[in-house]
Amino acid sequence: MADPMPIDRAAAERVLAEINATEVVEFLQALVRIPSVHPVGDTREAIEVCRAKLADAGFACRIEAHDEVKHNLIAEYGTTGRRVAFNAHVDVVPTGDEGNWTYPPFSATIADGRVYGRGAGDDKASVTAQVMAGVALARSGVALNGTLIVNEVADEEVSGDGVLHSLHVGMNPDVVIVGEQTLGMVAVGEKGAASSEITVFGRTAHGALPWEGANAIEGMARVIVALSDELGPKLQTRTHPYFKPSSLSVNLINGGVKSNVVPDRCTAYVDRRIIPGEDPAVVVAEMQEIASRAVAGMDGVTVEVRGADHIAPASMSDPASDLVRAMLGANAHLGLDTTLTGFSMATDGRFTARAGIPTIIYGPGDPRLAHVPNEWVGIDEVVSATKAYALAALALLS
């Protein structure tokens, strides 16, 4: 069981005194107004805004690029000892039809105590809170027993190459706090994935003589119904104290040759998310078994299930670790939620976790508002997260 780490009251006062809500919001607005949309994922300007702010507060900053326009920031402050990293991403997903937005997506309009815009929550709210927490810690002059690293990166929405490059060039963190939209709750880790491509094979024939062929689309229909009927209820029972249940969603389908030809091929993409304890290879084999049985009675139809682009086990840090307890301690100190949770989406944290570095996820905003029109984040949430990051770093570096 995790109990919150106590935080030195006097030092906390000094750090919190350096956090100014207006300055935090203005920084977030400046970032949202830079359209760092992926593709193409040009992060030069957004990273420069972060670099300038941190350098001004006394951070040693270096820009590490893994591509001409994909810049990543590694900013360090402190001394020898433990290395605590904040990580978040400055690339954002496209806006979709701008007509669906109440306020222009790069206006960073303030209304109802919220900042609206593409990336306001995902992930520039976390970037802002991390940068401003670092600035507050440096300005406070509180002595640290280690180094705070602020790592803001490109390429999270597509590949993870920004954080991977940062690790490759020697960022060398001992622990990582990834900023994503956890509603200000401490997420001990994130779900894994066993995304799969299902291919049903049949045999073509004239559409007027269907008995001569083997219909791959009809085979796929049976496979999808079987996955839903047989696997769906099972996944509901695969639960975990911190995570939402295991899940499956058929998100892409493609098949057919021509309107008067019996189709010999149909493919579907299954987005399968897994909890700690589930093995991706076993999960893919389980879907193959159900799919094979679903088409067993169809003459000439076969099915193959193969792992696709996103295969990773779930990752989770020890709830009793200093890292989890420090983040909880920060929330406890601020009177915020101290319930532990697990993150349902994939983050750059899967790469740091896979590198053996204890990783948690924490940040302002609601994940349901990510990637949709009228994305917003509450100003209170961003300011609270700024304070929480600063206190967690203080606790880990005291």
Residue ranges binding Zn ion (CB under 5 A): 122-123, 180
Smallest separation (angstroms) from Zn ion to the CB of 122: 4
Pick the catalytic residue from 42, 64, 76, 91.
91
Smallest separation (angstroms) from Zn ion to the CB of 92: 8
Pick the catalytic residue from 42, 123, 156, 381.
156
CA atoms of 106 and 31, how far apart (whole Å): 9
Contact indicator for 197, 269 with CB cutoff of 8 Å: yes
Residue type, 231: L
Determine whether 91 is an active site residue: yes
**3 state SS of 137:** helix
Smallest separation (angstroms) from Zn ion to the CB of 180: 5
Determine whether 26 is an active site residue: no
Is the dihedral angle over the CA atoms 38, 39, 45, 48 positive or is it negative? positive
Contacts of 75 (CB under 8 A, 6+ apart): 50, 51, 54, 55, 59, 60, 61, 62, 134, 149, 150, 151
Smallest separation (angstroms) from Zn ion to the CB of 345: 8
DSSP character at residue 377: E
Smallest separation (angstroms) from Zn ion to the CB of 342: 16
CA atoms of 17 and 137, how far apart (whole Å): 10
Smallest separation (angstroms) from Zn ion to the CB of 52: 23
CA atoms of 244 and 191, how far apart (whole Å): 9
- Give the residue with the Cβ less far from Zn ion, 180 or 264: 180
- Give the residue with the Cβ less far from Zn ion, 120 or 133: 120
Return the axis-axis angle of helices 216-226 and 280-294, rounded to nearest 10°: 120
Smallest separation (angstroms) from Zn ion to the CB of 158: 11
- Give the residue with the Cβ less far from Zn ion, 118 or 333: 118
Contact indicator for 277, 263 with CB cutoff of 8 Å: no
CA atoms of 126 and 391, how far apart (whole Å): 15
- Alpha helices in the chain, H assignment, sequence order: 9-16, 21-32, 44-57, 124-140, 161-168, 216-226, 232-237, 280-294, 322-333, 349-354, 379-396
Number of other residues whose CB lies within 10 A of the CB of residue 278: 20
CA atoms of 232 and 245, how far apart (whole Å): 11
- Residues designated catalytic: 91, 156
